[in-house]
Amino acid sequence: MSRRSKVLSGALITSALLLTPLGLGGVAASSTPSAAVVHTGHTMALSTASSPEDPDGDGYIPANPPVTGGTPSTQNPPHRYFHEFQANCSVSHTRPDDPIVHPQQPGKSHDHTFMGNTTTNASSTTATLSAGGTTCKAPGDRSGYWMPTLYNGDKPVLPVGPQVIYYKAGVTDYTSVRPFPKGLRFVVGSPMQSADEFRRHPGFVEGWECGDSFFNTEFPASCPSRPDVQLNIRFQAPSCWDGRYLDTPDHKSHMAYPVVKPGTNDNICPAGHPVALPMIEFKTAFPVNGDMSKVRLASGLGHSFHYDFFNAWDDRTLKALVDHCVVGGLQCDARGYDETHPEAGAALGTDYRLP
């Protein structure tokens, strides 16, 4: 696709384009920093800054090689209730950076809480992340995971210890799931979404919860003041890839959520995004309870929650976990071991590395 075919005369696209079968010629990229993309009534600045991976700054980062000619799998393999593994990663640092939305622009973002890769900053690329350290249990996971920092008043509230990041099958044919391509990145949700958009988002699982309060779009007014009570959120990412781009100007159009196959209850990838990848699900706990009236996100109210993912897994390690746990229909921990199926063994050794 030529650069000219990528650029429209206007700087806006509609949210409907997010599911257009690589009508990515209709995704706008502008040479002006004020370019914006429309998402269900709200606007978000497009990335227009150049970076080592996007030297022309048009926001498109092609996959090399691309995955072409595929069609979504409609197979229905033997039912397995689980097909997942965990990436257990702790918080490494906070910083007002976002290498996906504001590459090469330090301090341009609201504050983010980073997990996984210890080097993530505004200048991060696939190469720098791959050379960095990690707080994840599996040393092969050098991916960057981040979300807006949570505050209680002016005090940051950071998750303590390894957080659960699930890698699941989002489609019925769990045997069709393949590992993420190195360098894939995307944003889940939007800091400018409305409360209703947050609640209706396809990634919404349980919203904000604490104690016996569930499915909240905003932070509960209060939570039980007990040591065992924390503020939690679960939110799922799209898991169907167009096979062509590691990133697009809105950081979403190259990804899509599964759809229901007509006449069935089966989840399949849409035609324009036929490649089934692992479905990431953040399950994050924040150590705050009691009076919640001053709890906020760096991006705003509770419904502004969103998160970013930048894949820098060691290819062989990720493939071993995906093949053993997701394709294999197991419920694995961070080393790829399912305690209910000990006979299946583990994908990784006791040191969380490939044997």
Cα 96 to chain centroid, rounded: 18
Instruction: For residue 133, name the pLDDT band (cuts at 50, 70, 90).
Output: very high
Mean pLDDT of the chain, nearest integer? 88
DSSP H or E segment with residue 319: helix 315-321
Give the tokens for residue 252: 């979403």
Distance CA 290, CA 148 (A): 21
pLDDT, tens digit, 9 for 90 and up, residues 25-34: 222 222 333 3
Least confident piece of the model among 38-42, 59-63, 118-122, 303-307: 38-42
Provide the pLDDT for residue 75.
Answer: 94
The pTM of this model reads 0.87
Whether the pLDDT of residue 315 is over 90: the answer is yes
> pLDDT tier at 46 (50, 70, 90 boundaries)?
low
% helix / strand / coil in the chain, to the nearest 5? 10, 30, 55
Ranges of each domain in the chain = 60-344
CB count within 10 Å of CB 105 equals 17
